[in-house]
Chains A and B, each alone.
Chain A
Amino acid sequence: MAGDKVDPVHQFVVNKIIPIEIGGIDFSFTNASLFMVATLAVATCFLYFTTSTRSLVPGRMQSVSEISYEFIASMLREGAGSHGMKFFPMVFSLFMFILTANMLGMVPYFFTVTSQIVVTFALALFVIGTVLVYGFYKHGLGFLNVFVPSGVPGILLPLVIAIEVISFLSRPISLSVRLFANMLAGHITLKVFAGFVASLGTFGALGIGGAILPLIMTVALTGLEFLVSFLQAYVFAVLTCMYLNDAVHPGGH
């Protein structure tokens, strides 16, 4: 059995395409970079060209763009109120970028940008960094109210504050690991089951018969993975809205 056939991790290997080194640090244009550019190009071109006619009565494709826009707008308005709408471009960009990256990753032989922890962690840090910077810029030390829930008895306050601080600090980790782990695990599972199909197929008639079960699993998992791809982009955007709500209304919970 050839190793490259069933190695489910191979799809995550980052290969250099154009080696670039600046100041001793490797900034090569890799397959990961290529698919980031692809994500940028696909998402931008889709949103740009589907809305280019600016039809009063939208066609199917324009509807998709408009629905995405309104979907994120209502999500942010519900999550962070009308004051949170200044973060609309940020949440919309995050959602569309992650969604497109996840969906591109579903194409066979394509690299999944969001299966790299460094990418998801950078995006999560971007969100938390925005919350911190905006929170302190707008509310000064009043932003620290975010750690003091209202209506808690004085005795419990130190404990509750400690819990709130820990939960705040774990946000970038949970936000990034959730997306990363979902994409990674899903692609590994898909690859493993697809690998079963290929390897069982080499064992003659009986093997081909036995390969049907993992084939069904692969088809079902592919459907599930499309759902997960959308769901994780959605979850990332929803949590971003919730965290931004803390920056806009500290102590408002």
Chain B
Amino acid sequence: MFVTEAYAQSTTTEGAVTHDAAAGEVHTETGVAQEGGHGSGVFPPFDTSTFASQLLWLAITFGLFYLLMSKVVMPRIGGILETRNDTIARDLDDAARSKAEADAAIAAYEQELAAAKAKGNAIASEAREAAKAKATADRTAVEVSLNNKISAAEARIADIKTKALADVGAIAEETATAVVEQLIGGKVSKAEIASAVKASAK
């Protein structure tokens, strides 16, 4: 298909040349002197005279290319990709480990905080209890001493009272004696007066 197209092109565009060249190159139908008078005039990709050279140079260049790829370039790109994957994996591991550490630190902190709170509460309640106990003890001591003082005072009052009451009897007897002496001028026995005072004091 491409061959015929190319042949058609050659014959139409260079028909005039064909006539001139035909004398020299009767063995090829399209004996067109292709540009620059290159050799046989067949369609260039099918020009077998160039095959050996192309094959040799292809083998050299592609072989060298294959070697360079497999020995230099591909290990390098593979290495880059591997390093990157390793780095990413390592960074992720680091991040996960850091997170675990942070979580552990937070947990430890919470625990410490709870322990400290509990300890604080314990100290506070202990102090409160101690203070309460001391206050109670102080109060009882004060109460006891007050009660002692009160009972001492009461004893004294009772004492004074009885003494006073006793004096009152004596005074009343003396007064009664004096009064009776003044009124009736006679002597009244002490016993009578005492019984009379007693009777009226009742």
* Residue ranges of A at the interface with B (Cβ–Cβ < 8 Å): 1, 3-4, 6-10, 12-15, 20, 25-30, 32-33, 36-37, 39-40, 43-44, 47-48, 51, 54-56, 58, 62, 65-66, 69-70, 88-90, 92-93, 96-97, 113, 115-119, 122-123, 126, 180-181, 184-185, 188
Contacts and interface: CB of A to CB of B under 8 A. Distances in A.
- Among B5, B58, B87, max chain A CB count under 10 A is at B58
Chain A interface, >50% SS class: helix
A232 to B, nearest CB: 16
Contact of A27 (B34, B35, B52): B52
Contacts of B81: 66, 69-70
Given A6-B13, A89-B69, A54 B52 contact: no
Nearest to A10: B35
A88 B34 CA distance: 42
Contact of B9 (A8, A30, A33, A96): A8
B13 A30 contact: no
Contacts of A43: 65
B45 A89 contact: no
A66 B80 contact: yes
A48 B78 CA distance: 13
A236 B6 CA distance: 26
Given A30-B53, A33-B57, A89-B69, A54 B80 contact: yes
Contacts of A119: 54, 58
A69 B76 CA distance: 11
23 contacts: A3-B13, A7-B13, A9-B6, A9-B44, A27-B52, A30-B54, A32-B53, A32-B57, A33-B61, A37-B57, A44-B73, A51-B77, A65-B77, A69-B74, A69-B77, A69-B81, A92-B69, A92-B74, A93-B66, A93-B69, A117-B45, A126-B62, A188-B6
Given A12-B44, A36-B57, A122-B58, A51 B35 contact: no
B83 A56 contact: yes
Interface of B: 2, 5-6, 9-10, 13-14, 17, 34-36, 38, 43-47, 49-62, 64-66, 68-70, 72-74, 76-81, 83-84, 87
- Among B17, B62, B87, max chain A CB count under 10 A is at B62
Given A32-B50, A118-B54, A4 B35 contact: yes
A89 B58 contact: no
Given A7-B35, A40-B65, A118 B51 contact: yes
A48 B72 contact: yes
A36 B79 contact: no
B58 A7 contact: no
Contact of B55 (A20, A118, A188): A118
- Among B45, B70, B81, B83, max chain A CB count under 10 A is at B45
A185 B44 CA distance: 14
Nearest to A39: B61
Contacts of B69: 44, 47, 89, 92-93, 96
B51 A13 contact: no
A7 B38 CA distance: 14
B141 to A, nearest CB: 82
A33 B35 contact: no
A7 B5 CA distance: 11
Nearest to B16: A3
Given A32-B54, A96-B69, A51 B9 contact: no
